[in-house]
Chains A and B, each alone.
Chain A
Amino acid sequence: MDFISILSIFVLACFVGYYVVWSVTPALHTPLMAVTNAISSVIIVGALVASAEAGSAAAKYLGLLAVVFASVNIFGGFAVTERMLAMYKKKERK
């Protein structure tokens, strides 16, 4: 992809983010933070590239370390979000 296509995706995604986040109910702002934390660990993609490719041993180990950190975040972030969301219950109607 050339730079302009990437930039277009970025700018449009900023707008999508703006509108989607304003529609999040304030009651769920903490889960929002936890889940954004988890998804920002998509940076694991870069870490996997670094650790998969041969060429530089140093880069490979930096990559593997980044995979560990990002995985803590992915599993931890999604799991803690799931745990929080499971607690939100409606009033029982009689």
Chain B
Amino acid sequence: MHELAPVSPFVALAYLIAGVLFILALRGLSSPATSRRGNRMGMIGMAIAVVTTLYTHDIASLPEIIGAILIGGGIGFVIARRIAMTAMPQLVAAFHSLVGLAAVLVGAAAYLNPGAFGILDTLTGQIHQASRVEMGLGVAIGAITFSGSIIAFLKLNGNMSGKPIMLPARHLINLGTLAAILGLVAYFVTDQSPWVFWTVTALSFVIGFLLIIPIGGADMPVVVSMLNSYSGWAAAAMGFTLGNSAMIITGALVGSSGAILSYIMCKAMNRSFLSVIAGGFGAESGGASGGAAAVDRPYKRGSAEDAAFLMSQADSVIIVPGYGMAVSQAQHALREMGDMLKKAGVSVKYAIHPVAGRMPGHMNVLLAEANVPYDEVFELEDINSEFGQADVAFVIGANDVTNPAAKTDKTSPIYGMPILDVANAKSVLFVKRSMGGAGYAGVDNEVFYMDNTMMLLADAKKMVEEIVKSLD
């Protein structure tokens, strides 16, 4: 066991308090009512960690440090104020990449100046062997987080096609690179030469890039969650290097948080984590098999007036929003429609599928932004049984998550995915741009052709605005 820099008990206590405040910050998110208090606790925890660090080190460069904090903080604050809620997945991906990059930089700094981090063995003049492992792993995970998040950002932001990019023999290349990284980290223990350290760093940047390019747009919620997890493990590994409890606690919290969210997203799509990582899903989407056959089948088309009439006569309406609603920015018009229906005595609820947005919980934020009260918004398992009693299911911008093929058709690519049973409602209103394009998975949806379904073919926002006009 190696000895890390001696720390006074008060300093250790301060970091522990910071760690506990971070736990409470997450704990607060168990309900919207306590969430803001939790967020404040997180801020206090961060302030304690920063002040403690500054207080306990002989600062040779305080103005520079304050300057760096102000520059970074200013940029972060402005971005946070201006960002559109629809762009939240990109923003989170970008933030992940910064955590990863910071981890790499801290690792590199620790490698160049090990004395400052208290990881220098005074007898041999070399870095402690255990610290080399921690440092190597921390830098590797940080670099993977960085380059992977950059790709995720570009895909989510539309700078890069959401289609998977498949390299030949990519599994072989990826496994080979991973093995090389692990081998070099092990070798780093016996030889702390610069080339080992920098090769690990470079290879990790490359593997992060290679891991994410074959993953399609539909799987991005899993990828964002996974990178969330990695950024946590990177922070934890650096915490080991520094022997800092606040960093270790936080890293563990964030690591498990991302892992759980990945698991929830995978389950919501009935995909195994490994198959997501392997990538390629959605490569054949837009292909001829499912979508093309659809064009000729008979379906009922309705107008905004029909929809308004049907809903105003109903006792209960369940609204099923999907990402298409967010794309056309229909959430405010939708809330207006909900308000008018409620005024007319109709019970209005919202049903959210876990993968309705582009990241976990995305749809909830979009509805909250449009002032939809959160106690009208329900998760899949809480509302699915209610479709049977509902008069109208109003599906807007969602497709795959309502597709009964997930239950009935074993050959369907979405078979086994939990769906919202909109088909059980007395009537279904389905807002869709056109009959052509199917969802991400590229499968036709039986719901379109049911007797009790009325297709409202238009841009989501325009359609809802027209319905609002007709309700008036």
Contact = CB atoms under 8 A, between A and B. Distances in A.
Nearest to A51: B65
Contacts of B33: 90
B65 to A, nearest CB: 6
B235 A18 contact: no
Interface in B49-84: 49-50, 53-54, 57-61, 64-65, 68-77, 79-81, 83
Given A24-B29, A39-B250, A88-B368, A53 B106 contact: no
A30, A71, A75: which has the most chain B beta carbons within 10 Å?
A: A30
Nearest to B43: A78
A41 B102 contact: yes
A80 B95 CA distance: 11
B196 interface: no
A2 B7 CA distance: 11
A31, A50, A68, A70: which has the most chain B beta carbons within 10 Å?
A: A70
Interface in B1-19: 1-4, 7, 12, 15, 18-19
B113 A59 contact: yes
A56 B4 CA distance: 20
Given A25-B31, A39-B25, A63-B106, A32 B261 contact: yes
Contacts of B92: 30, 33-34, 37
Given A21-B256, A89-B374, A59 B109 contact: yes
Interface residues of B, number: 124
Contact of B65 (A22, A64, A90): A64
Nearest to B59: A52
A49 to B, nearest CB: 6
B26 A37 contact: no
Interface residues of A, number: 84
A21 to B, nearest CB: 5
Interface in A57-80: 58-60, 62-80
A9 B10 CA distance: 17
Q: Is the interface of B mostly helix, strand, loop or mixed?
A: helix
Contacts of A76: 75-77, 79-80, 91, 95
Nearest to B243: A1
Contacts of B130: 3
Contacts of B19: 13
Contact of B73 (A65, A75, A83): A75
Contact of A64 (B36, B64, B368): B64
B362 interface: yes
B77 A28 contact: no
A14 B76 contact: no
B117 interface: yes
Contacts of B75: 72, 76
A20 B23 contact: yes
B27 interface: yes
Given A21-B257, A43-B99, A53 B31 contact: no
Contact of B36 (A2, A18, A54, A86): A86
Given A21-B260, A24-B26, A60-B61, A79 B81 contact: yes
A28 B46 contact: no
B364 A16 contact: no
Contacts of A91: 373, 375-376
A50 B109 contact: yes
A28 to B, nearest CB: 5
Contacts of A21: 26, 253, 256-257, 260-261
Interface of B: 1-4, 7, 12, 15, 18-19, 22-23, 25-27, 29-33, 35-36, 38-39, 42-43, 45-46, 49-50, 53-54, 57-61, 64-65, 68-77, 79-81, 83, 85, 88, 91-92, 95-96, 98-99, 101-103, 105-106, 108-110, 112-113, 115-117, 130, 224-225, 228, 231-232, 234-236, 238-258, 260-261, 264, 352, 354, 357, 359-362, 364-365, 368-369, 371, 373-377, 379
Interface of A: 1-4, 6, 9-11, 13-14, 16-18, 20-56, 58-60, 62-92
Shortest 4 CB-CB distances between A and B: which pairs? Answer: A71-B72, A76-B76, A29-B361, A53-B116
14 contacts: A6-B245, A10-B252, A25-B31, A33-B224, A35-B29, A45-B246, A46-B241, A55-B116, A75-B73, A77-B80, A78-B39, A79-B76, A79-B77, A83-B81
Given A30-B364, A50-B116, A87-B368, 4 more contacts: A30-B361, A33-B359, A80-B88, A81-B39
